[in-house]
Amino acid sequence: MSDQDDSAIDDSHQTALHEAGRLLFSKPWDFVLGVAHLDQLTDADGMEIAFAGRSNVGKSSLINALVGQKALARTSNTPGRTQQLNVFTTDAPLTIVDMPGYGYAKAPLPTVEAWNRLIKRYLQGRPNLARVFVLVDSRHGLKDNDKEIFDLLDKSAVSYQIILTKTDKLKPGQIEKVRDNVLNGLLKRPAAHPEVLITSSVEQSGLSQVRAAVAELLEQQGFIRFE
Ligand SMILES: Nc1nc2c(ncn2[C@@H]2O[C@H](COP(=O)(O)OP(=O)(O)O)[C@@H](O)[C@H]2O)c(=O)[nH]1
Ligand SMILES: [Mg+2]
C-alpha cells in the first residue's frame, strides 16, 4: 500500500472518531449522583472516564462545553465547593465522573484528607476506568499537586491525559511552550498519554479533539466499531 493510501485511511479514521465523539456528547447527558463515599458508587456499565484537576481549573465549564449543556456540571466561582464524585450518564456505554477539585488553599486539613482517601480508593478500584483527563490551567502549567495526582495515577496504572484549559488567555505562541513544558514533565511517567489536548471553553476550541479522544478509547475497548 502506498503512503498516500495509508494517510487517507488515517484521515478517514480521524473523521470517523470526530463524528462518533460529536454524536456521543450531543446525547442528553444526565447527572446521576454525587458521592462522598465510594461504597455509594455502583460499578460502571461500559466504560468510565473521569475529569480531574485543581479547583477552579475550568473542569465544570469544560464538561458543560463538551456536552453542550450549560448547567450539567455546576460551574462556580467558589473554589473547593465540589467535594464529591459527580457521575453523569447517557444512553451510551460511557459514564463520566467529575472528580472533586484539589489544591484549594483554604480547604481544611480533614477535607483534604477525606479527598485523598476518596480519590485513592476510587482510582484503585475502578476496573472500567479507561482514562483520567487531568485538566491543567494553561496560564499556570504543572503544579506540585498535579504531580501528586500523576504519582497516584502512575502507581495505580490508570491511563491519564492532560487537557490544557483557558488557552484563550494566552498569547499566540505561548500555548506551544506550555504544551512542551507539560510534555517534558510527563516523559518518565508510565501511565501518561503522550499527547496534550488544548482547549478553551470560552472559545469552544479543542472540544472536538477531546470528544474524539473519548471515542477512540471506546473503540479501543471494543464499545464502538467502524466499518
Ligand atoms: N477565560 C476562561 N475562563 C474560563 C474557562 N473555563 C472556565 N473559566 C472560568 O474559570 C472559573 C472556574 O471555572 P469552573 O468550570 O467552575 O472550574 P472548576 O472549579 O474546575 O469546575 C470560572 O470563573 C469560569 O468562568 C476558559 O476556557 N476560559
Ligand atoms: Mg467544578
pLDDT of residue 23: 97
Judge contact between 182 and 12, C-beta under 8 A.
Answer: no
pLDDT tens-digit map of 131-175: 999 999 999 999 999 999 999 999 999 999 999 999 999 998 999
Q: Is 122 within 8 Å of 37 (Cβ atoms)?
A: no
Ligand 1 neighbours, Cβ below 6 Å, are 53, 55-61, 75-77, 101, 165-166, 168-169, 200-202
Distance (Å) from CA 176 to ligand 1 centroid: 21
pLDDT value, residue 39: 86
Q: How far is the CA of 153 from the centre of ligand 2 (A)?
A: 21
Tell me how far the alpha carbon of residue 207 lies from the centroid of ligand 2, in angstroms.
17
Grid cell locating 50: 473521569
Tens-place pLDDT, residues 37-58: 888 888 878 999 999 999 899 9
Distance 14 CA to ligand 2 centre (A): 30
In the chain, which stretches have pLDDT less than 70?
A: 1-4, 75-82
Q: Which residues pair with 92 in a beta bridge?
A: none
pLDDT number for residue 201: 98
Q: What is the pLDDT of residue 34?
A: 85
pLDDT score of 76: 62
Helix (H) or strand (E) holding 98: strand 94-98
d(CA 227, CA 94): 21
- The rounded Cα 157 to chain-centroid distance in angstroms is 16
Index of the ligand 1 atom closest to the CA of residue 135: 20
Task: Tell me what pLDDT residue 80 has.
Answer: 52
The atom number, within ligand 1, closest to the CA of 54 reads 20
